Chain A
Amino acid sequence: MAKRNKLEIIRDILKIIQESHSIKPTPLLRRSNISSSRFKEYYSDLLEKEFIRETYGKNKEISLTEKGCRYLEKYSAIVDFIDEFEL
């Protein structure tokens, strides 16, 4: 499997959350297929950029924000644009 770049890892994490509607941090880490230290970096980055939100019920759950959904919608356009202009 080819090494994923940052945009692909973000897409994969957001997709897992979208498919599950809301998910606990540990299964998300397991399914993300990255090391826990990198996961922490991505997780805090996604929270900071408001792509995901934490909700506290019985347990801590993670769900997508509107911005996170928009990222998934626009992902192909972003990649195409970067590819087109060699950015």
Chain B
Amino acid sequence: MVLMTGRVIGRGLGKLMNIGVGSEIIYSFVIIICSLMIYFGTKELYKLSFHKGIKYFRQAFLFFALAYFFRSFIKIALFYFEISELRNILPIFGSITLFIFMYFSSMAIFYLLYSVMWKKWESKSTIYFLHIISMAIAIIILLFQNPLIYFLINILLFVFISFTVFISFRQSKKKKSHNLYIIYLMLLIFWIFNILDILIPNFLQAFQLSIYLISLGIFILIFYKVIKKTG
């Protein structure tokens, strides 16, 4: 009896925490709009200053918008065909979409990291190197359909980026940059959750609503900080 009640409650919670296609569209739409507004809202600042940091910051959010577009596209296709992996029903199309999503996702994070680190890493080849790494990540994910590989890649990404951000934070003399690095780390963590949500179906289903709400909060917070400065 107790076990059955537990199962019913569990199923009810599962349904409550699960996201429908409508919510999926709204979630992606809000993040795409926030990212594009950050991109276009900072256009004048870049056109006037030609500052490389602003350039890479803008590109990060353009890539976030593109990545979320492809992410929502994959999610809607999964709902439509009622499958767990797009490659099951549309092998070539599904693989291309997944490749583009992974490439844009990795580049978005790398551009954001580079916007903070460009003075230390400045070299013409750095940005090409980051493009190559992003393509390599996308190819590995396509070739090895193994959740363990997906985990490993994302953990490596997390360790590398958080370590770089931590070093940069320790070197920074500004007190207020503390908040910014926390926001960027949160963005990275929840971005990885969003990627794992696509790569490993049902893995994070129980936490989907929380992941979506926190991700939305992070993007809206960054958007608010940008608007406050650009007017």
Chain A residues engaging chain B, CB cutoff 8 angstroms: 7, 49, 67, 70-71, 74, 77-78, 80-87
B54: which A residues are within 8 A, CB to CB?
A: 78, 81-82, 87
- Determine if B50 and A80 form an interchain contact, defined as CB atoms under 8 angstroms apart: no
Within 8 A of A (CB), among B44-76: 44-45, 48-51, 53-54, 56-57
Hey, which bits of chain B sit against chain A, CB under 8 A? 42, 44-45, 48-51, 53-54, 56-57, 115-116, 118, 168, 172, 174, 176-177, 180, 225-226, 229-231
Are A87 and B115 in contact, with the CB atoms below 8 A?
Answer: yes
A14 CB to closest chain B CB, in angstroms?
11
Instruction: Flag if B116 contacts A78 (CB, 8 Å).
Output: no
Contact partner of B42 among A49, A67, A81, A86, CB < 8 A? A81
Not counting A71-B49, A83-B174, A86-B116, a sample of 20 additional A-B residue pairs whose C-beta atoms are within 8 angstroms of each other reads A7-B49, A7-B51, A49-B50, A70-B44, A71-B48, A74-B44, A74-B48, A78-B49, A80-B229, A81-B229, A82-B51, A84-B180, A84-B229, A85-B53, A85-B180, A85-B225, A87-B53, A87-B56, A87-B115, A87-B118
Cα distance, A83 to B48, chains bound together (Å): 16
Closest chain A residue, CB of each to CB of B50: A49
List A contacts of B44 (CB < 8 A). Answer: 70, 74
Q: Are B51 and A86 in contact (CB under 8 A)?
A: no
Residues of A near B115 (CB, < 8 A) are 85, 87
Measured CB to CB, the closest approach of chain B to A77, in angstroms, equals 6
Interface centre among A70, A71, A82, A87 (most CB of B within 10 A): A87
Q: Would you give 25 A-B contacts (Cβ < 8 Å), ordered by A? A: A70-B44, A71-B49, A74-B48, A77-B45, A77-B229, A77-B231, A78-B45, A78-B51, A78-B54, A81-B42, A81-B226, A81-B230, A82-B49, A82-B51, A82-B53, A83-B174, A84-B176, A84-B180, A84-B229, A85-B57, A85-B116, A86-B168, A87-B51, A87-B54, A87-B56
Alpha-carbon gap, A50 to B224, bound state (A) = 31
**A85 contacts which chain B residues (CB < 8 A)?**
53, 57, 115-116, 180, 225
Q: In whole angstroms, how far apart are the Cα atoms of A3 and B45 in the complex? A: 23
* Shortest 8 CB-CB contacts between residues of A and residues of B: A87-B53, A81-B229, A78-B49, A71-B48, A80-B229, A86-B177, A78-B45, A86-B116
In the bound complex, do residue A74 and residue B45 qualify as a contact, i.e. CB atoms below 8 Å apart? yes
Q: Could you say which residues of chain B place their CB within 8 Å of the CB of A86?
A: 116, 168, 172, 174, 177, 180
* Residues of chain B with a CB closer than 8 A to A83's CB: 174
Contacts of A87 in B (CB 8 A): 51, 53-54, 56-57, 115-116, 118
Contacting B230 at CB < 8 Å: which of A7, A70, A77? A77
C-alpha gap A51/B44 in the complex (Å): 14
* Bound complex: CA A2 to CA B226 (Å): 28
